[in-house]
């Protein structure tokens, strides 16, 4: 029994679990439950889900929390249900109805057409009932006290909005969007376009990076999965495979682990194209990720550098 417990602990150490969050609990509470269940001291989630939303909530365990900053910017996929005919103060089904309207003239073709108009780069005003902060105070705390403040529109990107089905005033659709996008605000804004009001009545996050619904695991099945289904725990290497890689010479491994930048002479292999602003994973000979770095130059400038010049600055060390 003891050997089995040690084996399961080794399996989950510094890995990422693709948790399925149900409706109701906050993302923060799900992280706390994971920490208690798995006996890990440190954990953090990728992308917050509202309490009424459900779906995938990847949670990084132990040292894998160091990669959250590189996963949070990934685009998100959702399955949404929008209720036409009523707007709420929270823009979703948990709020109070603040206006209603006639939906009899809204056709499916009109819905598809407005989806097309909202596709692409947009400006979105964050809702008052959100975790965004004003002078360090979450907006939802102000909203609960009846305080509404002016919010600046933020740039968002809807890569696709796909009509799925409609039953009376209930519209089902799929969204692929940039991080930081509020789907309930999209529903609200569409209701404004039609003049009848709308709110979000259901939301499922279906994909972030390599995490999808098929690879997700529910909380009540997670403890057993640590022994019977270790594949629900993802390695840092697998999760960060979308980043271009560089390989360094063995004699520079200790240097980067100690937090030092990489000179041109440290490199064994490089991607064909790179430029400042990119994040690249640094691998050693055994394919383990040591760190994430950012180029200081592009590939053409790199070729002109002296071997001793610093070519890549450190973003994050991933090993001790």
Residue-wise pLDDT for 109-153, tens only, equals 999 999 999 999 999 988 877 777 777 777 777 777 777 878 889
**Cα(116)–Cα(190) distance, integer angstroms:** 11
CATH fold group of domain 2-73+210-238: Pseudouridine synthase (3.30.2350)
Does pLDDT of 226 surpass 70?
A: no
Catalytic residues, by residue number, are 50
**Cα(118)–Cα(95) distance, integer angstroms:** 24
- The mean per-residue pLDDT over the stretch 9-14 comes to 64
- The mean per-residue pLDDT over the stretch 20-34 comes to 95
The predicted pLDDT at position 57 comes to 97
- What is the b/e burial string over 37-61, where b = at least 16 CB atoms within 10 angstroms of the residue's CB? ebebeebbbbbebbebbbbbbbbbb
Question: At the fourth CATH level, which superfamily is domain 76-208?
Answer: Pseudouridine synthase (3.30.2350.10)
Q: Where are the domains of the chain?
A: 2-73+210-238, 76-208, 243-317
Question: 166 and 132 in contact (C-beta within 8 Å)?
Answer: no
Mean pLDDT of the chain: 90
Residue-wise pLDDT for 196-215, tens only, equals 999 999 999 999 999 999 99
Q: Indicate if 76-208 has the same CATH topology as 2-73+210-238.
A: yes
User: Comparing 305 with 228, which gets the higher pLDDT?
Assistant: 305
The predicted pLDDT at position 8 comes to 47
* Among the listed residues 174, 136, 180, the one whose alpha carbon sits nearest the alpha carbon of residue 156: 180
The predicted pLDDT at position 228 comes to 58
The predicted pLDDT at position 3 comes to 41
Question: 85 and 169 in contact (C-beta within 8 Å)?
Answer: yes
Question: At the fourth CATH level, which superfamily is domain 243-317?
Answer: PUA domain (2.30.130.10)
Task: Give the whole-number percent of the chain exceeding pLDDT 90.
Answer: 77
Does pLDDT of 10 surpass 60?
A: no
Residue-wise pLDDT for 178-201, tens only, equals 999 999 999 999 999 999 999 999
Helices (H), the chain: 2-12, 27-38, 68-71, 108-118, 139-144, 183-194, 219-228, 236-239, 253-257, 299-303
The predicted pLDDT at position 5 comes to 47
Cα-based distances in Å from 225 to 39, 170, 288: 15, 36, 25
pTM exceeds 0.75: yes
Residue-wise pLDDT for 73-105, tens only, equals 999 999 999 999 999 999 999 999 999 999 999
Helices (H), 203-252: 219-228, 236-239
């Amino acid at each position: 029994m003891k050997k089995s417990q040690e084996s399961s602990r080794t399996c989950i150490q510094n890995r990422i679990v693709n948790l399925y969050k149900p409706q109701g609990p906050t993302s923060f509470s799900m992280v706390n439950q994971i920490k208690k269940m798995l006996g890990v001291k440190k954990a953090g989630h990728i992308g917050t889900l509202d309490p009424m939303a459900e779906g995938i909530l990847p949670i990084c365990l132990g040292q894998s929390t160091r990669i959250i900053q590189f996963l949070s910017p990934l685009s998100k996929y959702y399955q949404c249900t929008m209720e036409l005919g009523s707007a709420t103060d929270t823009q979703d089904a948990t709020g109070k109805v603040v206006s209603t309207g006639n939906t009899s003239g809204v056709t499916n073709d009109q819905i598809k057409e407005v989806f097309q108009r909202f596709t692409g780069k947009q400006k979105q005003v964050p809702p008052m009932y959100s975790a965004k902060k004003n002078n360090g105070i979450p907006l939802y705390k102000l909203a609960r006290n009846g305080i509404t403040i002016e919010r600046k529109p933020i740039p968002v990107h809807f890569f696709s909005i796909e009509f799925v089905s409609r039953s009376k005033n209930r519209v089902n659709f799929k969204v692929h969007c940039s991080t930081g996008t509020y789907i309930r605000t999209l529903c609200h804004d569409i209701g404004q376009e039609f003049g009848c009001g709308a709110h979000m009545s259901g939301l499922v996050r279906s994909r972030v990076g390599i995490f999808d619904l098929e690879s997700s695991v529910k909380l009540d099945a997670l403890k057993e999965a640590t022994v019977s289904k270790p594949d629900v725990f993802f390695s840092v290497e697998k999760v960060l495979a979308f980043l271009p890689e560089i390989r360094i010479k063995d004699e520079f491994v200790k240097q980067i682990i100690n937090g030092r930048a990489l000179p041109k002479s440290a490199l064994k292999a490089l991607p064909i194209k790179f430029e400042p602003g990119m994040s690249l994973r640094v691998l050693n000979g055994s394919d383990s990720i040591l760190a994430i770095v950012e180029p200081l130059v592009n590939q053409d400038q790199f070729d002109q550098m002296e071997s001793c010049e610093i070519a890549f600055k450190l973003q994050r060390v991933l090993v001790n």
